[in-house]
Structure formats: C-alpha cells, structure tokens
Structure 1
Amino acid sequence: MENKVLAKVGNTEITALDMEKVIAAMPGGRGQEQFNNPTARKQLLDEMVNREMIYLNAVDEKLEENPEFKKLMDEAKHNLLQQFAIDTLIKDIKVEENESQEYYEKNQEMFKSPEEVRASHILIADEEEARKVADDVKAGKDFAEAAKEHSICPSKERGGDLGFFSRGKMVPAFEEAAFALEVGEISHLVKSDFGYHIIKVENKKVPQTKSFEEVKGQIDDYLLRQKRTIRYADKVKVLKEQYDVELNEDAFKA
C-alpha cells in the first residue's frame, strides 16, 4: 500500500497509513465496514485534521505542563510500562510440536465428539389424536406433512426436524426413545410433560475422536496460556522476595 500524504497540518503530515491505523483500532473491527467508501474516508480525514489542530493548539497553550495532564501521563506511563514488562516476560514462550502431540495423546477423551441423533417429531397434546396420527404415519403418510398439520411444536415449520442433538439435551423420556431407535424407525407414543411425541430418527453420528490436526490450534492455545501463567507466577514469586508487600486485611472484612 502506497503511504500517500492525505493532509498537512502545520508541519505534521497525515498519511494513508495513519488513517488505516485509526480504522483498524476501531472496536469490533467495524472500521473497515464503516469507512469503505470515499465519502466516509473524507469525513474521517476531516476529523483527523481537526484533532491534529486541537493537539497543536494544546502544545501552543502549554497544556502539557498542566498538573492534571502530568498526573494522567504518569498513570499512563505506569500502566504501559507494567503491560510492556509482562509482554516482555512472556514473548519468547513457544509451544513445540511434540508438546502438543504429547498432550493430545494423553487426553484423548477430551477430543471425543459424543454420539448424536438427528430426529424429527410430532408433538400432540391429546393422546387419542396422537394415536391416530401415529397410525397414519406408520401406514405410510409423509411424516413431515403430518408434523406440519398436527404438531404443536414450533419445529412443525421444518416438518418436525429437531436437527442433531447429543444426550442430555432433551427430556429423558424423549431422549431414551430417540437414541434407542434405528435410522428411519418411528417410535410408539412417547409421553412427556409437553404432551405425546411421535419420533422419527433421520440420522445418527457415532462417537468419534477428532484428529490431532483438527485440535492442534486449540491445544497450542491452551498450552501457551498455561506456560505464560507459570512464567508469570514464577516471576511474581521471585519479586515477593525482592519487594516488601503489605496487605490491609481489615479492608476486606465485612
């Protein structure tokens, strides 16, 4: 990207790179979307020029000598130096391939995807009506159409489709029936607090262990955080021997 000079305020240049930095720093990454056209970027440039004039005027007015400003500068320096020291302490920490692989091998259970079922259902409040609908679908009536006609569950709009779910996501009676059915099989009436369910299993997923490649990034992030935490704790332990620390325990009493 060519770093064009977009404006000059006194002897200060405002460049395209300066503008990109402002846009990139906007919360939530909204800058690129908000300033994606020439009109919006011109408005942003105008505001950058305004702020630079405010800055230059503050220098001329010697506001940097104001005691309140000096206090703010001291606080900012304290916080920046504190964070810089932490960043410097941990910046060289890395996670090696063999460390990730070893963690993966020792923690296989963490990377197992559970058994899942994809089921559709028809939920009916009245038992007699539910039995009639159950007889109809078992006699060959299209399950999705029956769900749209009779079900009182919002899933009726999708032909009763509930998508995939694992154990512990549905009420016990429903879950027990769904996981016991074979793919394509339709249940007898299943009673729950919501009414009477007619369940059809559309698909099943058996438990699987994710591959190392699938979870390597997740493992690396975890191990990196762990290493950084240990390095930080070790440093604090040493510093406690170096500096006197007094805690006012009474301040935390109710």
Structure 2
Amino acid sequence: MRRKGLAVACVFALCLWASPLHAYLAKVNGEEITAEDFMEYLKGVHFQALMRGEEGKGGKLNEEVLHEVLDRLIDQYLMAQEARRLGLHKGDEFRWRMEKVRRELAGRMLWMEEFEKIQEPSREELWNFYKNRVEGVRVRQIFTTDRQKAEEALRRLQSGQDFSQVAKELSEGPFARVGGRVGVIRRGQMPKKWEEVVFSMKEGETSGIIQTPDGFYIVRVEGMKKASQERFEKGLEGIKRRFLREKRKEIRQRLLEQLREKAHIEIDREALEELNLQTPSKQVLARVNGEEITAGEVLPVFRAKTFGYEARKRRWNLEYDEDEVKEEALQGLIDEHLISQEAIKRGYFEKDPQLRRALHRYEIGILAELFRQKLISPQIRLKSGEIEAFYHEHVNLFYSPPAYHLRVIEVRSREEAVRLRNEISAGADFAYLAREASLHRSKRRGGDIGWVSENRLPEEVKKALSAISVGEVTQPLPQNGHYVIYKLEDVKPGSPRPLEEVKEEIKRELWRRKFSELLRLYLEKLHKLSKIKVDEKALKRLQEEFNI
C-alpha cells in the first residue's frame, strides 16, 4: 500500500455523494469499510491537516488522494484488529473511552431531538426578541439598603437639589462616585419591580422610592434607546440565530431542572472541600443516581476553571473563592451525568443503525490508538550518543535566524514616506527625521528599534531588507494603514543553537522517526498476513461522482 504524503482535498464536498453510503469500499479480513466510513475518515484527515496549518496543500480530490486515504483507513482497521487479537479491548482504558463516546453520541442525539421541538420563529417574534434586547433606558440612580437614607435622598431631590450631587453623597455602590450614572439598562438586567416602574417612565422623569429585595432605588431617566427597524432588517439572520440559541438554552435549562427534580444526588462535602492536586483520582466526590463522580473527573475541570479565574484576577484584580470553583466544576459534571443517563435511557443505539455504525468507527479509532500506544511506543529506545550524532549531522536544522538592527520612520501617507526617503538619499540624517516626523513610538530614540529576529518580521519587510545593504534604506512599505521606511544599521547572521538548547527537539524528532519506522514494519507484516479486498467498482463509482 502506498504511504506518500497526503495532499488534502475538498473533503466536505463528499457530503454531496449520492451513491449508497452502506456499499462497502473494502473488506479487511472480512470486516467491511463502507462509503460512509470512508467519508467520515476523510473529513477527519482534512480537519487534522487544517489544525497543522496545511490547508494550502488542498486542492481537487484526485485518484492519488483517494487511494492514500483508503490505504490509511485500511491500516486503521488492521491496527484495530491486531489490538483486539491481543486483548486490548478487554482493558479498563478501552472500556472507559468507549463508554465516554457512547454517552457523548447519545447526548448529541438527545439534544437534536429536543431542539427539533423549536418552532420556526415568526417576524413578530423576532422583532419582539430584538426589541427587548436593544431597547433600553439611560439612567442615573440612587441605591441604598437604608430606607431612611432613601427617604432623605427623595426629600432633597424634591426640594430641587441636583440628582448627581445627592447620588454622590447618599448612594451606595460603585456608581455613587460618578453621580449615579449607570448607563443604558435593558430588560432583564434589573429586579422586576425596578423594571416595571422605570420602563413605564418618560425621559426626564424621576421615580419615587422603588423597593426591591436588594434595597431601595430612586431612578432618573435621562434618555431612551429605541429599536431600529432598518437595523432589524439588516441583521435579521443574526437575530434569528441568537433567538434560536436562546431557545436552545431555555430547553436545556428546563430539561436539567426536570432531571434534577427526579434524581438522587449525593455529594461528599468534606471530600470536595479537601480536593487538591494530590487527591487520588478514584476518590468519589458525588453520586448521581448511584453513578460515581470521582476526583479524576473533577480535577481537570477544576484546573481549567481556576486557570480562567487566575487570568481574570491578574488582569482585573478580581478575587475568587476556590471552594465555589470546585462546586461549579462538580455541578457541571452532575449535569453531564444526568443528560447522558437520560440519553442512554432513550435507547438511541437500539433505534438507529447509523448511530451504531458511528460508534463502531470510534471503536476502530480507539483500538488503533491503543495499538500505537501499547505496542509501538514502548519499543522506542534512544541509544547513547544518538542525540549528539543527529545534532552534528543535521546542524543546519538548528540555526537561529539572522537578526537585524533597525531604525524606522512611520508616516501617514506614501507621498510623505517617499519625500523623507528622498531626503535621506540626499544626505539627511535618518535619526533626525525620525525624531521630527515619525509617528512610531521609537521616534524619541531616532527611530531605533534595536535588534529584531528575522522570524518576527512580516514577509514584505524581510523581502525589502534582503534587497538592501547595511546603511541603506528600504522603499516605503504599507503597514497598519500607514507607511514605513526602515534603515538597516547592522546584521547578525544566523548561528547554530547550542546542543543543550535543542536536545528536547532532537529527542522528539528521533522518537517520531523511530515510531514511524516501527509502525511501518509492523503494518507490513499485518498486510502480508491479512486478506484485503477493495471493491474496484465502488471505488470507480466514487471517482466518477467527483469527475476523477
């Protein structure tokens, strides 16, 4: 079988293929690979290429690409069958991963079924949805938890005192220092009683005391924001998407509430409070209808959420409670368990053969991955001296890029850049002109931006610098809506990076090469021992569908 580099093609066009999806393209030791299997695998190959930044290698689907993808898929089946023969399908890891996939697939089917209940929205529904989210009131407010203070503020306002000044003196909360200026408030953002009063007021009016569960408000309406029919028409598709997203959110919340009402949920509060990175992964933190949620599930979610909260703390100095983050992580997992349990109960796998086939495709992929992990990876050994030998043999791969000492002048127009360059060519001092005319932040230093590595420069700048010598100036170049000229002060050529600096890179490269070779040899043996039949008619039909 051919193992050439794959040029990824226009994969998603395969969805248009009209031939029977369940006709087989190949049999591997009697196990069928259907046209649908082939298409789904090809989509995955395409996605992986995009993730590696290889989208530029795409093109029209051709016979070579088709055969290469089919070869890869046959290899997947061979690896999966070998993994089964060796009993890897009996291990805990395989069973855990398959159960996870089964629940995820069933969960997707559940949400598809639930979301199908959403009716196509009418224009009136979309207009009301848009209006409620766009229209608002621009207000100032005085807020206090003290009734007497609220009454004093109202008396002072009624006597003619300035609202802003009264707010600064009597209001509580962050808006007091800006005279109670809150900005635009839309429906759904404030307590119900507040909205009932304020949204019925006119511009320029001041309310009485509005009592809510939070405290007491006095509100002045300074302006009204109205929905625009023209903007509604222009943004109709986006409004519809947001409307449907909100409906899906409501359905999700309603179903979870129903499931929680019926569920038996136990949480070990002491174990959750003591949860840390050293907690054993099998430590049970909760049970959902008897199903365990362990520390091994909660910790990755907790770490991810903590990372986000730490970033907010560094950026905005917002504190967070670690115990609340643990609770948030656990409650999210409880929701996931409730949904997957409900999805399994609905019996989608029993009803839908295509879903069973999708699960089978995941099984092949998981077994093939376990084959590589358990059988190929453990064979790899790096011998003493291999890293040093590879480094000396391929030292050209480990050169640091050249660096340039640059000055820059940035101006608004090309004409100005050309004029300045002509002055420099006539003998004017670059640094002086940079200080006088440049918009760049380096102007005080005469445009000096120091040493810049070549890999940090845009392609057009690299090209311009390659065309000049030290002491010369580039032609004007467009940059961020302005124009720039660079002076090349000096160049440092690239040099070999020290071995210690690149050791890990070399280890990874040697490991990858050994892995590929060991896998190739093992697959060669499997091919020799296996019976592989390709249905040439089905393959030909596939080629004809795409004019190959």
TM-score with structure 2 setting the length: 0.36
Find out whether 1:66 has 2:350 as its counterpart: yes
How has the CA–CA distance of structure 1 residues 48 and 130 changed in structure 2, closer, same or farther, with 3 Å as cutoff? Answer: same
Match of 2:452 among 139, 153, 164: 164
Q: Measure the CA separation in 1 of the matches of 2:302 and 2:462.
A: 45
1:226 is displaced (CA, Å) by: 0.9
Match of 1:12 among 291, 294, 298: 291
Match of 2:323 among 9, 33, 38: 38
- Matches of residues 168-179 of structure 1 in structure 2 within 5 Å? 169-172=461-464, 175-178=467-470
How has the CA–CA distance of structure 1 residues 97 and 212 changed in structure 2, closer, same or farther, with 3 Å as cutoff? Answer: farther
**1:94 — aligned with what?**
381
How has the CA–CA distance of structure 1 residues 5 and 120 changed in structure 2, closer, same or farther, with 3 Å as cutoff? Answer: same
Secondary structure at the residue paired with 2:441? Answer: helix
2:333 partner amino acid = M
Percent of counterpart pairs with the same letter?
17
Q: Measure the CA separation in 1 of the matches of 2:475 and 2:335.
A: 66
TM-score with structure 1 setting the length: 0.70
1:158 is displaced (CA, Å) by: 2.0
1:20 is displaced (CA, Å) by: 0.9
Q: String of CA shifts for 1:43-69, please: whole Å, max 9, x gaps.
A: 33223223334455566x483872536
Q: Measure the CA separation in 2 of the matches of 1:241 and 1:79.
A: 22
Q: Measure the CA separation in 2 of the matches of 1:233 and 1:204.
A: 45
1:174 is displaced (CA, Å) by: 7.0
- Matches of residues 200-239 of structure 1 in structure 2 within 5 Å? 201=489, 204-239=491-526
Secondary structure at the residue paired with 1:157? Answer: coil
**1:48 — aligned with what?**
333
Q: Measure the CA separation in 2 of the matches of 1:90 and 1:112.
A: 32
1:219 is displaced (CA, Å) by: 1.0
Q: String of CA shifts for 1:36-94, please: whole Å, max 9, x gaps.
A: 743343233223223334455566x4838725365554443332212211222322113
1:209 is displaced (CA, Å) by: 1.5
Q: Which runs of 5+ in 1 are unaligned?
A: 25-29, 182-186
1:242 is displaced (CA, Å) by: 1.5
Q: Measure the CA separation in 2 of the matches of 1:56 and 1:166.
A: 55
Asked if the contact 1:118/1:165 (under 8 Å) is kept, the reply is: no
Q: Measure the CA separation in 1 of the matches of 2:424 and 2:289.
A: 85
Asked if the contact 1:115/1:205 (under 8 Å) is kept, the reply is: yes
Q: Which runs of 5+ in 2 are unaligned?
A: 1-277, 311-321, 411-416, 478-482
Tell which deviates more after alignment, 111-120 or 99-108. 111-120
Q: String of CA shifts for 1:209-249, please: whole Å, max 9, x gaps.
A: 21111111111111111111111111221122122223335
CA RMSD, Structure 1 to Structure 2 (Å): 3.8
**1:27 — aligned with what?**
none
1:17 partner amino acid = G
Find out whether 1:125 has 2:411 as its counterpart: no
2:294 partner amino acid = T
Asked if the contact 1:89/1:232 (under 8 Å) is kept, the reply is: no
Secondary structure at the residue paired with 1:199? Answer: strand
Find out whether 1:199 has 2:490 as its counterpart: no
Q: Measure the CA separation in 1 of the matches of 2:309 and 2:402.
A: 46
Asked if the contact 2:398/2:496 (under 8 Å) is kept, the reply is: yes
How has the CA–CA distance of structure 1 residues 164 and 175 changed in structure 2, closer, same or farther, with 3 Å as cutoff? Answer: farther
Secondary structure at the residue paired with 1:113? Answer: coil
State the structure with more CA Rg: 2
Find out whether 1:104 has 2:391 as its counterpart: yes
Q: Measure the CA separation in 1 of the matches of 2:300 and 2:421.
A: 68
Q: Measure the CA separation in 1 of the matches of 2:466 and 2:364.
A: 59
Tell which deviates more after alignment, 30-39 or 12-21. 30-39
Q: String of CA shifts for 1:85-143, please: whole Å, max 9, x gaps.
A: 122232211323411111111122222234422111347321697249943x38xxxx2
1:210 partner amino acid = R
- Matches of residues 137-148 of structure 1 in structure 2 within 5 Å? 137=429, 143=431, 146-148=433-435
Asked if the contact 1:103/1:219 (under 8 Å) is kept, the reply is: yes
Q: Measure the CA separation in 2 of the matches of 1:62 and 1:119.
A: 67
Asked if the contact 1:112/1:209 (under 8 Å) is kept, the reply is: yes
How has the CA–CA distance of structure 1 residues 235 and 171 changed in structure 2, closer, same or farther, with 3 Å as cutoff? Answer: closer
Asked if the contact 2:301/2:329 (under 8 Å) is kept, the reply is: no
2:475 partner amino acid = S
Tell which deviates more after alignment, 122-131 or 235-244. 122-131
Find out whether 1:2 has 2:293 as its counterpart: no
Q: Measure the CA separation in 2 of the matches of 1:74 and 1:128.
A: 67
**1:184 — aligned with what?**
none
Q: Measure the CA separation in 2 of the matches of 1:14 and 1:218.
A: 38
